[in-house]
Amino acid sequence: MLAIFKREIRSFFTSVTGYLVMGLFLALNGLFLWMFKGPFNIFDYGFADLGNFFLLAPWVFLFLIPAITMKSFSEEKKLGTLELLFIKPIGLWQTVLGKFLGTFVLGLIALMPTLLYVYAVSQLGTTVGNLDMGLVVGSYFGTIFLMGCYTAIGLFASTLSENQIVAFIIAVVLCFLLYYGFEGLSTLFDEGKAAVFVQNLGMKHHFESTARGILDTRDLIYFISLTSFFLFLGIVQLQNTAR
């Protein structure tokens, strides 16, 4: 598993695509938060907090994570090396977990430079350092758990096709539906309880709950369960491919 983890990291950083994906992520965040006029601009917002960044991050990661994961198994299928993974002296679940951890760490690496935003915003306030760190830490935890779900979904999508673009599109659609789809669906219900129940099925509700600085075990169980579910689907799909 460790060898597959290292290989996933190495293959990403030995290609130009890896640097382009991370560069694009940081560029988009920087432009929307600091340069472009609009609802996400921190200077226009008027308050020294990172709420706008955490509103934007799920949408940027919705494209970034599938771009990282799209070649995980699709490339193996295309090159005909997927069969080699099946004969390795490790279980299939270890192979999937190794790739999951590799791509998940890549997402964390992309997220790390945004810690500079915490320092910058804390210095911009009328009172230097007047930043609700509990809210910031909770929002980062929510973002990390959301990335885990996106990564598992992206890996599952990459097991469905040997075409990386197809895998990317499937992952983006699935991530969008599970993040915002239930939120949109809830607006069709007039009854409050039904609407809340449907909202609870989506990632957006649980992300926003965590982003408020409240680490509820229900949210953690939701994210862990959803991540495990899509990793399981990926393993099942690979087993069907091997037959």
pLDDT in tens, 188-203: 877 778 888 888 899 9
> What confidence tier does 126 reach under pLDDT thresholds 50, 70, 90?
low
Specify whether the CB–CB gap between 62 and 150 falls below 8 A. Answer: yes
Please, is 19 exposed, middle or buried when counting C-beta atoms within 10 Å of its C-beta (0-12, 13-18, 19+)? exposed
Write the pLDDT tens digit of every residue in 106-121.
889 889 988 888 888 8
| pLDDT exceeds 80 at position 45 | no
**Backbone φ and ψ of 126, nearest 5°:** -60, -40
| pLDDT exceeds 80 at position 213 | no
pLDDT at residue 89, rounded to an integer: 66
pLDDT at residue 234, rounded to an integer: 92
pLDDT at residue 123, rounded to an integer: 76
pLDDT at residue 100, rounded to an integer: 94
- Per the model's pLDDT, the better-predicted residue between 130 and 60 turns out to be 60
**Average predicted confidence (pLDDT) for the chain:** 84
> What confidence tier does 26 reach under pLDDT thresholds 50, 70, 90?
confident
Angle among Cα 17, 110, 100 to the nearest 5 degrees reads 80
Count other Cβ atoms within 10 Å, centred on residue 242.
Answer: 12
| pLDDT exceeds 70 at position 88 | no
